[in-house]
């Protein structure tokens, strides 16, 4: 594959590549941008080469995942060095979400909390399957695990989300209202 074709594929898939980098960087946009830039440099400089054993997208997602892991390790070492010298790493202030519909914010918060309770592998496989339309075998290849392991993580992730979200419903004002399962199953009184 020549450089022009690689550039064209990187440009056409940039949005998806960024989404996957964001997932691998635990939703840190600055780190995701840095990781993606490193990946693009690796690919264009020939340090990461596509040999055609998988689809280009699957291969590239694997490179992104590994680069993000390397970046996390580098960051951890930097922090440990700073701590050993008596310096504390600065913590960035959390970005404020723009004003939105309360119901959407509440739903999003509940979903993100449930998603955050899953293991890293479970979040990754869900992201690859739902947002990037990869099959479980392709997702397993990107993650560096067998298809059986990917399937197990996928099923456990779905079950975990279902368990965490099953009792939670939103009222008409978009506020969280917890109901027990018996109340949902009881017939409504007619009057």
Element (H, E) at 177: strand 176-178
The domain segmentation of the chain, as residue ranges, is 1-95, 98-191
Given the candidates 3.30.2130.10, 1.10.287.990, 3.30.390.10, 1.10.10.10, the CATH classification of the domain at 98-191 is 1.10.10.10
CATH topology for 1-95 is Rna Polymerase Sigma Factor; Chain: A (1.10.1740)
pLDDT at 171 over 90: no
Biggest CA–CA distance in the chain, Å, is 74
Report whether 23 contacts 121 (CB < 8 A): no
Q: b/e for 126-144, b at 16 or more Cβ within 10 A?
A: bbbbeebebebebbbbbbe
Residues 86-145 have pLDDT tens digits of: 544 444 434 444 444 566 677 778 888 888 888 989 988 888 888 888 888 988 998 899
The predicted pLDDT at position 95 comes to: 43
The predicted pLDDT at position 16 comes to: 95
Dig out the tokens for 81 from the structure.
Answer: 């060095």
Dig out the tokens for 141 from the structure.
Answer: 């290849």
How many residues are listed for the chain in this entry?
191
Q: Is the pTM of this model over 0.75?
A: no
């Amino acid at each position: 594959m020549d450089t022009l074709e690689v550039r064209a594929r990187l440009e056409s898939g940039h949005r998806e590549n960024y989404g996957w980098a964001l997932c691998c960087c635990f939703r840190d946009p600055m780190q995701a941008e840095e990781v993606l830039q490193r990946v693009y440099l690796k690919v264009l400089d020939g340090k990461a080469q596509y040999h055609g054993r998988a689809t280009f997208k699957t291969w590239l997602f694997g490179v992104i995942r590994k680069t993000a892991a390397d970046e996390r390790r580098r960051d951890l070492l930097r922090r440990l060095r700073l701590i050993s010298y008596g310096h504390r790493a600065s913590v960035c202030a959390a970005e404020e979400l723009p004003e939105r519909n309360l119901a959407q914010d509440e739903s999003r918060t509940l979903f993100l909390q449930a998603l955050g309770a899953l293991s890293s592998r479970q979040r990754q496989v869900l992201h690859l399957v739902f947002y990037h339309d990869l099959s479980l075998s392709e997702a397993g290849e990107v993650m560096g695990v067998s298809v059986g392991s990917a399937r197990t993580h996928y099923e456990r992730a779905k079950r975990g989300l279902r368990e965490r979200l099953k009792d939670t419903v939103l009222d008409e004002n978009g506020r969280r209202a917890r109901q027990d399962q018996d109340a949902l199953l009881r017939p409504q009184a007619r009057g």
